[in-house]
Structure 1
């Protein structure tokens, strides 16, 4: 065997080891009105074969908690636990405490603030080359879902949602809010007893600086990076490997979570995204212990899972 093949096999074995016990807290599997390359069941099958501990499915338009329950009940042999949550876009009534309470009662783990219907997202999309395919005729002309009033004060409905999140110990994720809104929402959430905060992809859409990343992590929030936005060959690539390093340094390894944010057509699978993400972190010089924290242990802590890091 050539030396190159030995090195390649050792590298692949190292990637495989780092993925044992991994958790992907942000996956866009289907069904969805947006084209998806993989459905929820096949996703869990693939991740189970790779030794993942858990996955959280996210759809911009519906809570996937019922599907998660069905897969858990009827496929007990699958090792990967599947969870879901709800995104507070127009389809579920926007900032809707009833939808959040129902999601919690069905075992949902994460509540995302508005994404495609966020005021910030709609402003961003006007100048972006990207138009999200998850839309109907009505949704293409979406009414924004605000979180602040005209005086930049948090809406009472948002406070009610935060109380439901706190009561049920769910994760509050920032979605596509502008970082200035995220600061206010997270500060209020902490005052109201929310323990689990997730700052969603600061590298894109939300207008965050590295100082924002550092400060929000210092609040105790986890900073979640969409690895598809850093990988060569990804149609979602907007940042470099060095950008990822700077983000990790800003938040610290202990508060950094890597997700795939994949499942779409025309790009590699969530599992392949994770494999490439681990390889990227290896190339950046991170130790296996630190990589495992970012792809497994930290997300498990964030979600309150009982699964132990492998």
Structure 2
């Protein structure tokens, strides 16, 4: 743990006990990472985290999580992963989702790097998104909608699999209006756990979009990396206060989205965001909810 240099350090460390990170970008990965899954686990264990979920844009990480829990026992940290429906997984591929569900995946991310929305924004230079260490094949842009603006049959089948397995459905990097349309359909098909990844980055939600998604029962996941010093910083403390007020602490999840070069390690990111929340006079109960309890409900763990 950090050496105590400020009276508030002990308060921060106490609040981190029981936290859950749903968006840990440790490696190995095609994008350069500052730590691997094992190191992320050890950091989380030292801080007393309840759970850690590894996210990779290119592969299903469930096997890594299962084996690490077995090889490094008695940490108190439960490890999870899921699948991102990018080109590397066959796009919006029901077969890949079915397999992921059957081996214990906890989350399905709709297209991220391969989303047509993401591709358009990165090609135009609108978003400074991290690059892979080696050149990858050009992405085939993906959408959950067909040429007529209707949800595709494959997407509907994915929603049915997610519902049956009671996994989290995450919006990925689809645009706001598309996520709203898919989440409306997901709710009709019995999906209970819905998560909007960094709604104000790439997804480009307006305040009204975020209110609409909360009305659908979704949780809004804000990336800690975008509010603390580092390469990904793009929002202010005032922005964070507004986003929390908009959805309420009961529908807000703070996940690290860390592991990228030029930014702190995930657990250090949590320390910084908790300190920021304390500076904002956020009630401790709400802090615990946003950094742990809401994510634990989404994972269906206690």
TM-score category (smaller protein): over 0.9
Cα offset, 1:135, TM superposition = 6.9
5+ long unaligned stretches in structure 1: none
Q: Kindly indicate whether the alpha-carbon contact (under 8 Å) linking 1:115 and 1:176 is maintained by their aligned counterparts in 2.
A: yes
2:82 corresponds to 1:85: yes
CA distance in 2, matches of 1:242, 1:103: 38
2:284 corresponds to 1:288: yes
Instruction: Classify 1:207/1:214 alpha carbon distance in 2 versus 1 (closer, same or farther; 3 Å).
Output: same
Structure 2 matches for 1:187-226, cutoff 5 A? 187-226=184-223
Aligned structure 1 segments of 4 or more residues deviating by more than 6 angstroms? none
Number of corresponding residues: 299
TM-score by length of 1: 0.93
Residue of structure 2 in register with 1:68 after alignment: 65
2:180 corresponds to 1:151: no
Q: Kindly indicate whether the alpha-carbon contact (under 8 Å) linking 2:32 and 2:133 is maintained by their aligned counterparts in 1.
A: no
TM-score by length of 2: 0.96
SS in 1 for 2:108: strand
Cα offset, 1:73, TM superposition = 1.4
Which residue, out of 104, 124, 127, partners 2:125? 127
CA-atom RMSD, angstroms? 1.5
Q: Kindly indicate whether the alpha-carbon contact (under 8 Å) linking 1:221 and 1:255 is maintained by their aligned counterparts in 2.
A: yes
CA distance in 1, matches of 2:189, 2:133: 34
Structure 2 matches for 1:155-194, cutoff 5 A? 155-194=152-191
Residue of structure 2 in register with 1:299 after alignment: 295
Residue of structure 1 in register with 2:50 after alignment: 53
Cα offset, 1:123, TM superposition = 1.1
Alignment deviations for residues 4-33 of structure 1 (CA, whole Å, 9 cap, x no partner): x99x54300110111000000001100011
Alignment deviations for residues 251-301 of structure 1 (CA, whole Å, 9 cap, x no partner): 011010000000112211000001001011111110111101100111101
CA distance in 1, matches of 2:46, 2:130: 31
Q: Kindly indicate whether the alpha-carbon contact (under 8 Å) linking 1:218 and 1:251 is maintained by their aligned counterparts in 2.
A: no
Q: Kindly indicate whether the alpha-carbon contact (under 8 Å) linking 1:230 and 1:244 is maintained by their aligned counterparts in 2.
A: yes
Which residue, out of 264, 271, 277, partners 2:267? 271
Cα offset, 1:138, TM superposition = 4.4
Q: Kindly indicate whether the alpha-carbon contact (under 8 Å) linking 2:177 and 2:209 is maintained by their aligned counterparts in 1.
A: no
